[in-house]
Structures are given as C-alpha cells and as structure tokens.
Structure 1
C-alpha cells in the first residue's frame, strides 16, 4: 500500500517571539502544493526503511518516518513493515518534505491496519516530530500559529494562478536560519493580510527568514528578483529556504532560471 506526500509553501512567515522551550512563536499560512514524495508499506520479516531518490543524510533510524512508525508499532502491536520512501521533494528547501512524509506515513498506517485514529489523534502522534508535521494530517490551507502546530482553517485558493517554484543548489539548515532571525510583534495578523488583493501582497506579506538567509545566500535573493522581473504578482522564499515560489497570472517560461542548473517546478 502506498501514498503520495505533498509539499507546502509558506504564504508569509512572521516570527513574533522566542519561547522558553527553545521554539519560536510565529504566524504563517501553510498552502499545499503538487510536488510529492511516495511512501510505501510492504509486509516484511523485520521493520526497516529504504530511501530512494534524493539523498537524505543520516541513518534511516533517525528519519522521522521511521520514528513515527515505531511509535505506532509499539502502541498498536503492528506487524513488521518495510517503509520505502521515494524522495522527490527537495531537502533543505523550506517545503516541509520530511514533515509531510511522517504525517502521510501515519495516515497510511492508520488506513492499512484500520486503526480508526481521528485527525486529532494522528496530529498528536506527529506533533513531537516537527512543528509543521500536524498540518499535513488535514492537508488543507491553514493559518498556523503558536510554534506552527496550531491551526485555523483558511479559505484561500490559488488554483486560478500559475505557481512556480525554484530551488537553487543551496541547503539552508533550519537551525541555522532560526539562530540568525530577529523577532518582532507585527502590527497586523497574517490571517487578515492574506485576504488583501494579490497585487497588494508584496507590500504587506513577508518572510522574516529572508533578511538573514539572503545575506548569506545572495543567489536566493537574486532568484526572487528575477521572478518579479519576469512578471510575478508575488514572490517569496518558503519557510527557512532555500526554495522561492512565485505566483503568476498565466503560464510563464523562465529560460534564464532553468539554464542555471536550478531545480524548477510548475506546481
């Protein structure tokens, strides 16, 4: 049995304060996009994990998919499985690929073994694995707050637009990005700003990770600039980077970006 775990982008990301538990309080809007990893569960004689596609550093036993399965296996006395992950969502891109994999693995286990877990129960299983993991259980556009694991449904639909994602050959470590970011209390809530007309987003919706990340990786800033020069109505780095997305009113060709050895998606 297999499933397809999709990525997300952040339509704005505001870091409002440092928490006593080491995390940050934030405001962001998660929006699912059509780039997918593939996860398969295969009956096996012992529990293991195989990763194919894009290389993920580290031991597979440290992968949050494997950790999620082991927790469920213990709680529900599940039989041994081989987890096969075909990795297609870029790593270190701010697209939530690892978190999506863990959440969709939990949903797949729930389906295969008929555990009857509710969305809320599955969210509770994945929250300890990553701040944005719980978003992928319901996997619908949402305003996220607290440390990014509390949600409000949000009525936003970009399907009428052409969404482009550009991933440069740069890996931005999340911990590094957080260590250099400055927090501040915004004058307006992001969940209200997102309802402004699209042409006003550039002046009001920001990603607080951009200044420190752009300072260290100016090529990411250059990508954003080129997307606006190509006619994007809105462009922003997703999460802590390094991917940049842009919203166009119609299909666009970007040969200059494509020829620079960048991973390029129309999503």
Structure 2
C-alpha cells in the first residue's frame, strides 16, 4: 500500500509558557502544502525501513519504528511491516516531515491490517509519538495548541503560492526552545482569530516566536527572508524552528522570479515552489 505524507508550514507560531513536562505550550496556525514524501508499506516477516535519504535513521530511532511499537503494544498485528520511505521533504526543515511520516504510517497500517482504529485512538497514539503529529491526521488548515496535540480545524484559508528555501544548516529545536533570548507570548492570539481568513488576514497574522533566536544563531536564514522580501514576496517567515524560510505570493510571476534566483545563486539550498492545500484527506 502506498500513501503520501504531506509537509506543513506555520503561518504563525506563538510560544507560551513552559510546561511541567519540559515542553512549551504553543499556539499556531498550520496548513499542509503540496510537498510530500511517499511511504510504501507491506506485511513482512521482519520489520524493516529503507529510505532514499541516508541522513534519516532506519533503526529504532525512526519515528515510524516508534509508531509501530505502539501499534504492536495495543493491537498485536499478526505480521511485521516492510516500509519504503521516499523523502522529498528535507529533514530538520521545520516542515513536519517526520511527524507527517508517522501519521501517514499510522493511517496506512490501520488499513493494511484492518485494525479499524477510532479517530480518538489514532490521536492517542500520535500524542505519544510526537508533539505535532496529531495535525497530520487531519491534513487541513488548523489552529493548534498545547504541545501540538490540540487541533481546531475551523481555519479556512485562501489559496496562495509558496516558495521554500532551506539553507544547508541544522537547527537544534531543543536548543532554540532553551535559548535565553526566547521571547514568550503572554496572551492568547488564537482565541481572537477568525476561522475564515482572507489573504490580508494571513499576511497580518504571520509571526514566529522562534524566528529571532534562529536568525541570530543562523544568520543565513535571516538573509534568505530579507532577499525574499526584496524579490516581491508579500510576506516571508521561518517555518517552525527552521531551517526553512518560506515566502508567500499572490503573483505566480514574482514566485517564479524568486524561485529562479534562489535556484541559481543558492546551489546548496533546498529550493521548492508549491501551493497550500486546504484538505488532503
């Protein structure tokens, strides 16, 4: 069985208080985008993961392994699985590639073994696996709160073009969240958001509480944002904890010009142009 595993961007990301479990409460608006990995899963006598990206672990440290361990504990399927993972989403990008892989794997394994999981059961498993994995069970624009496990899918977004640029740097998410210069947001912006956002609302809401810390640690990310704005992006922002910076455009002409620039002058960068998608279930 074959399934797509979609990436996301954060249109805003507010960092609230630190929790007793060591994580931070967040408030964010995420949307899936038309960039995806492919997972092929089949029943097997041995558990195995293969991946085209050699930087991705294929042992017990892979999030798919962790997900299957929870499935085994709860449902005891009669076989193991052979997983072929084809990565298009770069790792360490702030695009949710690993979390998306976990959710897609859960969905396809449920069908493969006929487990008939309830949606609440899927949420429970994903909440154990990672912080933002629950969002990828919905795969539609959503306000997300808590550690990333509380999903409000009332958000409705317009369509727009997106340019993704990830420089060849690795960002430590835990390091960013523990940085002394991290600024917390003391108010609740999500409760003040209208469910239906027009393009102007999207532009006005764009903010990332992690951005300044990442830009200070990795100046090339800030330079990418500045160049996107100079190349007529309507707005540009760091996604998640980075290292991807994205620009959004209402004009395909400006999108293509910026894409050509970054492809030509940033040969070591990951550069991709795409669109947001309102529902991929």
TM-score, normalized by length of structure 2?
Answer: 0.88
- Whole-Å separation in 2 of the counterparts to 1:187 and 1:157: 20
The change in CA–CA distance for 1:93 and 1:194 in structure 2 (over 3 A counts) is: farther
- Larger mean CA deviation between 234-243 and 110-119 belongs to 110-119
Change (3 A) 1:67 1:189: closer
Q: Which runs of 5+ in 1 are unaligned?
A: none
Shift of residue 77 of structure 1? 2.3
1:249 equivalent to 2:254? Answer no
Residues 100-111 of structure 1: pairs in structure 2 closer than 5 A = 100-111=100-111
1:10-159 maps to which residues of 2 (within 5 A)?
10-53=10-53, 55-56=55-56, 58=57, 60-78=59-77, 79-159=79-159
Change (3 A) 1:8 1:257: same
**1:164 has 2:163 as partner:** yes
1:177 equivalent in structure 2: 176
Rounded to whole Å, the distance in 1 between the matches of 2:116 and 2:84 is 23
> Any gaps of 5 or more consecutive residues in structure 2?
275-281
Question: TM-score, normalization: structure 1?
Answer: 0.92
Q: CA deviation at 1:138?
A: 1.4
> How many residues of Structure 1 are paired with residues of Structure 2 in the alignment?
265
CA distance in 2, matches of 1:51, 1:185: 42
How far does residue 264 in structure 1 lie from its aligned partner after superposition?
A: 1.0
CA shift at 1:111, angstroms? 1.0
> Kindly tell me: are residues 220 and 44 of structure 1, through their superposed partners in 2, closer, same or farther at Cα, counting changes over 3 Å?
same
Distance 1:201 1:48 in 2: 42
Query: How many angstroms apart in 1 are the aligned matches of 2:146 and 2:44?
Result: 39
> Post-superposition shift, 1:76?
2.0
